[in-house]
Amino acid sequence: MKWKKHYMLTGELVSSKRGKHVKTKSLILREDFQIELLGYLRSIPDVQRKPSKLARHIHTSFLFRFADENTPVVPVCSKTVKRWMLMLGFEKRIHKKNYYVDGHEREDVKAYRQEFVDKMLGNDEKGIRGYCSRMVTYADDPGDKATNRPPQERFLPIPPELNGGEKRIVFVVHDESIFYSNDATKIIWTRCEDLNSLRPKSNGKSLMVSGLMCSCHGFLCGEISTNGVSRTVKSYKIIKPGKNKDGYWKNKDLVAQVEDCIPLFEAIHPNCEMLFAFDNSQNHHAAPPDALKVSKFTLNDKKQTIKDPILLRDTQFIDSEGNIVQQTFYKNDGTVIKGIKEVLEERGLWDQVANLGKRGGKLMTCEHCSNTKRTMDDPITNCCATRMLAVQPDFAETTEWMEEVIVSKGHHIIFFPKFHCELNYIEMVWAYMKSDTRENCTFDFDNLCARVENLLENGIPLSTIRKFEERCFRFMHGYQLNLAGPLLDYAVKKYTSHRMFPSSFVVEEFEQLYQDHLKSKKTVGKN
Ligand SMILES: [Zn+2]
Ligand SMILES: [Zn+2]
């Protein structure tokens, strides 16, 4: 390595090397050039280390120095640079979005996750029979790959063992995703001289899909007849957001979609109960529009507004003699909403707060309640009229719209833990669809719409959906076994044939296996 020292001292190449190379020898085979290039590449942050960007700089900064009478140095293209980089041991990696971020391992999120997986998979110690034990499972026999069985015949259903009176559960997952008309594949193979097609810089027009799917059928589409009128119902909805389009998608739209789809799921899965699973967003926990809230009232009667009417469901309360009494909050044919005063009078509770105003306190909302809201376990109930009504059982009960719609039809609802997209297989379905739309991107919105619609209708193989679902269940099982991070990733990848890890699975032994795997990876990397 004499020349290196020489080079570092003088900035010149050892002259004796010149001319000794075979004329056709590529520059990259010269060790001196390799070292120069390697040093240069390492000096650049990995995110900027793109062959296309480096080509020009390599030429202007040091390539010219390697020219001699035998090897005229011509400008290099990114393809050459890429080849050089591959030879120097660089490789292109897709930087995976790490899902162990933010609140993934936050204590409250972990506690909720534990609760979630127990509900899903069951927990013998806690005496919970999981939803999963009432579902059809799909097993991919490892032999299937070897026998070349066509994919549509793989992941065949295994029916659950039901106890007397139990119904089969169908796991229905929901999620929303946005597709952009200019979202084309980022990785392209092209010749340098062909590199002249410019791409639009913006994302382009977008469409949103809100979908509900099961792993037995995928996205659903079917005929439903209500009151003798037959109509087509789809379990997915395509929304084109933005101005002058279908408008923005709100929680009430999702509730309407779910309500619309329940008869479809019931028709396609006779004698089954559905378990609908949603993101744990605040939006999905919203109260029904006619929920009983004190904030909707004034002390005395008020006129109903026609434009944005206040909705209040009828209710019932138990009077002092123990009778159940029905109560409605409207009067004069619905044009007037009763005031809190009248509502409390009807319930025989007005006397407890009537004197507050005279004593100098605020009758409607006391100072304390207008500043800090008292909690439900706060024993003071008669500080003001608002508080008096708020603590009544029908007002105190929290109702969620989505839950109400689903449970009232005899089905179930569950919310995925926050930050855990790896547990909802529809996320993988979106990714599958996006890789298709990216590859077939023509930068045209109508084409995107058609492509997405086609994929939703029948473009996703059931075996793929089932494979995705099994993977999510393995994640759940891993969390139940207290695996996390890269160890869990490795376990999920290793046991691909079933939804649960085998009964022979011992966490400690597996940890050892994982450590061995890491060591072997390191030695492979060194060689
Ligand atoms: Zn199904
Ligand atoms: Zn109060």
Summarised one tens digit per residue, pLDDT across range 153-174 is 677 888 999 998 999 999 999 9
As given in the structure block, the two tokens for residue 442 are 């023509």
DSSP for residue 123: B
E strand intervals along 183-296: 206-214, 218-219, 221-226, 229-234, 236-239, 272-278
Q: How far is the CA of 400 from the centre of ligand 1 (A)?
A: 26
Q: How far is the CA of 259 from the centre of ligand 1 (A)?
A: 17
Burial of 138 (0-12, 13-18, 19+ CB in 10 A): buried
Q: Which ligand is nearest to the CA of 169?
A: 1
Q: Which ligand is nearest to the CA of 367?
A: 2
Per-residue pLDDT, 134: 96
Kindly report the backbone phi and psi dihedral angles of residue 224, in degrees, each rounded to the nearest multiple of 5, phi listed first.
-125, 135
Residues (pLDDT < 50) of the chain are 17-24, 525-527
Asked whether the beta carbons of 51 and 76 are under 8 A apart, the reply is no
Q: How far is the CA of 139 from the centre of ligand 2 (A)?
A: 59
Taking only Cα atoms into account, the Rg of the chain, rounded to an integer number of angstroms, comes to 33
Look at residue 258 and give its three-state secondary structure: helix
Q: How far is the CA of 471 from the centre of ligand 1 (A)?
A: 18
Asked whether the beta carbons of 413 and 402 are under 8 A apart, the reply is yes
Q: How far is the CA of 371 from the centre of ligand 2 (A)?
A: 9
Cα atoms found within 13 Å of the Cα of residue 330, Cβ hemisphere only: 13
Asked whether the beta carbons of 331 and 339 are under 8 A apart, the reply is no
Q: Which ligand is nearest to the CA of 361?
A: 2
Q: What are the pLDDT digits (tens) for 500-521? A: 888 888 888 888 988 888 888 7
Question: Which of 461, 454, 429 lies closest to 440 in space, CA to CA?
Answer: 454
Q: How far is the CA of 502 from the centre of ligand 1 (A)?
A: 26
Helix, strand, coil percentages (3-state) for the chain, rounded to 5, are 45, 15, 45
Q: How far is the CA of 291 from the centre of ligand 2 (A)?
A: 21
- Give Cβ neighbours of residue 311 (< 8 Å, ≥ 6 apart): 289, 290
Q: How far is the CA of 496 from the centre of ligand 1 (A)?
A: 22
Q: How far is the CA of 218 from the centre of ligand 1 (A)?
A: 7
Q: How far is the CA of 292 from the centre of ligand 2 (A)?
A: 18
- For the chain, the farthest-separated pair of C-alpha atoms sits apart, in whole angstroms, at 112
Per-residue pLDDT, 71: 62
Q: Which ligand is nearest to the CA of 356?
A: 2
Q: How far does the chain reach from its first CA to its final CA, in angstroms?
A: 22
